[in-house]
Amino acid sequence: MTSPQPLPLNPAGPAQSEFLIHFCGRPTGRQNTPSVPAYIRSLTAEQRLDNVLWEQRIMGFAPFGYGVVQPMVCFSESPLSHLDWLLHSQHWPPWGVILRRQSLYAKGGGPVWYARPEEYASLTPAQRAWAVRYEATAGQRSDWVHEREWRIPVPPADPVLGLARGDVFAVLVGNLTWQPTTRVWPAATGTQPVPAVHPLQGSFQRWFWEPTEKRFLAWPS
């Protein structure tokens, strides 16, 4: 018996997006998950984006949730108007990596489950890695539906989502003049150090929000 062939996702509607963004930072004062190491917390969102491009990977961590140990990489599915709201009303730092929705699904990703408290409590720790508790009672509030989150599990032994050329559709940048850093490879004996650009250079767009005209500018990397 042959396995069923996967079909393409339905085209995104006006409240959806064909593109998913992994934000490289969090709003000021917003807590990181406890599994994020101190050295990553110390980096700016711009520095994190630079590391992602150079290392060709996004690191995954166990999300919030009782007993959850499965590392996940998190994205937001946001049409451009909603992405503008996240940036300017919710104060997400404007630095991120943008992948196609179909690509992330093909790699094993999918939307999170927003579960009411009773349903969330019935889930196993493995299932909770896919879930966000949804509650609006005093002292127990957990209302994150606006983040429109997708997740993709990554192996606990090597918790990273690898990025090949063509995987990244665009990067979101907070500075119109932004350029990725040029790093210098160690020199071989008797030779000069060799400046180099990151391996994904030239394979994606750059997006920058233009606040006056209220639109995203896009140009090749």
pLDDT tens digits, one per residue of 57-88 = 999 999 887 788 999 999 999 999 999 999 98
Q: Model-level pTM? A: 0.90
Q: 158-187, pLDDT tens digit by residue?
A: 999 999 999 999 999 999 899 888 877 665
Token readout for 69 is 């140990």
Please, are residues 103 and 218 in contact by the beta-carbon 8 Å criterion? no
Section 15-43 average pLDDT: 88
Q: 95-139, pLDDT tens digit by residue?
A: 999 999 999 999 999 999 999 999 999 999 999 999 999 998 888
Q: How far apart are CA 76 and CA 172, in angstroms?
A: 13
What distance lies between CA 36 and its chain's CA centroid?
A: 14
Looking at this protein, which amino acid is placed at residue 146? H
Token readout for 179 is 């350029």
Q: Is the pLDDT of residue 193 over 60?
A: no
